[in-house]
Amino acid sequence: KDVVLFTTLVVGYVQNGEDGKAMQAFYQMISEGVKGNEYTFTSLLVSCGNLKDLCLGNLIHGFIIKCGHEFGISSQTSLLTMYSKCGMVDDSLKVFEHVLNPNLVSWTSLIVGLAQNGREEVALSKFCQMIRSSVIPNCLTLSGALIACSSLAILDQGQQIHTIILKLGLHLDKFIGASLIDFYGRCGCVELAKPVYDSLFNRDLVIVNTLMYAYAQNGFEHETLELFQRMKAMGLEPNDVTLVSVLLACGNAGLVDEGIHIFDTFVGKCNIQITKEHYACMVDIYGRAGRLQEAESLINEVGNPDIVLWRILLTACRLHGDITMVGRILKKVAELSPGDEGSLVLSSNIYAAEGNWSQVIGVKSLIWGNGLKKSPAMSWVSIDGEVHTFMAGDFSHPRFKEIDYIIKELMKKVKEFG
């Protein structure tokens, strides 16, 4: 067996989603003393990314360097994608620094990886850099940039990307359409999401679900449920994503019985996988209606309920001023996440609102005893197309002294005007 045969075997396994077998073929290749080429390694990196196996990815990276392929554009692009899929975006950025002439695939791999790993401001910065480099984005690049804008809820910059989409004639692409609907929905602009939806032909389940979720998260409960009712006429079968939007709408509208009926109808369907997200919606529905005992019973029915479900119930206790089950909830939270700051603070506020100061002192003692303190919140602002992030008490900005001086001068002006 030679490198061509092994590479063909590896590529075949990767293309068929059999990443484990691709790795077995690689180990056999190494054991037989056959040296891989760039195509072998780039295919293996795809498997490492799919498996989220960083150790193997680092091993393949070492082979790439040893064999002198580290400056090959295919190797660099595959490394970018692998590190991004493994959540190591800083390593992706280091790899990108050594790309001499990044092409569209390289830029896209980096931007999408950054956007999907919580580095939205860097993703947008790189997107602007790509545009300035005269590289024309494709649907995947633009979708990555829109994901970043959605996460930061930056309407202006997202609309600029929408303009680029229109200029490139990509506005009828369903992938782009779904990204735009999601973006406008997350920015609270459903009136801008609907025209995008209307412009798309052959709307599939992804498109309909995206608009439905945009409706649900922005308080358009009637429109959400109406679209849900129209799905059958459109020849679409609702799935687990649909159910989240419908339950969210029922919760916001206070349609408890309808929400319960829809949930029970979906449970047991072979094509629907009921997840903790669905249970969270149901706990919220019961909680908003003040049916706290039923909400607690539902959580106890869930296999390995997570802390999110108990927090939702705790929020409902605060809404209805019910302190009877707060102690039980805190015990459950302590089992899952000892010293959970958010739940303890919320519990303290519930007791304080009801004037139960002895319990407030008890919870505060737990907070202080665990050495907990409130984490500083982060804010961001978009200025001239660039996103700036900052936190309370953050003095790390290189022009901090200048900023501090201007703020103090502005405060003087404010005081002068009363």
DSSP 323-341: -TTHHHHHHHHHHHSTT-H
Residue 415 pLDDT level (bands cut at 50, 70, 90): confident
- Greater pLDDT, 235 or 332: 235
Q: What is the mean pLDDT of residues 279-289?
A: 93
User: From CA 219, how far away is CA 252, in angstroms rounded?
Assistant: 7
Residue 375 pLDDT level (bands cut at 50, 70, 90): very low
Flag whether pLDDT at 133 surpasses 80. yes
- Greater pLDDT, 304 or 239: 239
What does the pLDDT look like over 106-121, one tens digit per residue? 999 999 999 999 999 9
Is 80 exposed, middle or buried (CB count within 10 Å of its CB: 0-12, 13-18, 19+)? buried
pLDDT at 135: 96
Find, among 208, 207, 225, the residue nearest to 216 by Cα: 225
What does the pLDDT look like over 309-331, one tens digit per residue? 988 888 888 888 777 787 787 77
Find, among 328, 334, 364, 358, the residue nearest to 346 by Cα: 364
pLDDT at 337: 66
What does the pLDDT look like over 166-189, one tens digit per residue? 999 999 999 999 999 999 999 999
pTM score: 0.77
Flag whether pLDDT at 267 surpasses 60. yes
Q: What is the mean pLDDT of residues 12-31?
A: 91
Is 99 exposed, middle or buried (CB count within 10 Å of its CB: 0-12, 13-18, 19+)? middle
Is 170 exposed, middle or buried (CB count within 10 Å of its CB: 0-12, 13-18, 19+)? middle
Tokens 């692998």 label which residue? 82
User: From CA 122, how far away is CA 118, in angstroms rounded?
Assistant: 9
- SS3 label, residue 197: helix
User: From CA 102, how far away is CA 79, in angstroms rounded?
Assistant: 13
Q: In order of start, what are the domains of the chain with their CATH numbers?
A: 1-100 (1.25.40), 215-274 (no CATH), 278-374 (1.25.40), 376-418 (no CATH)
Find, among 57, 4, 55, 62, the residue nearest to 34 by Cα: 4
User: From CA 370, how far away is CA 385, in angstroms rounded?
Assistant: 42
- In b/e form, how buried is each residue of 369-380, taking b as 16+ CB within 10 angstroms? eeeeeeeeeeee
Q: What is the DSSP letter of 411?
A: H
pLDDT at 2: 85
- Greater pLDDT, 408 or 182: 182
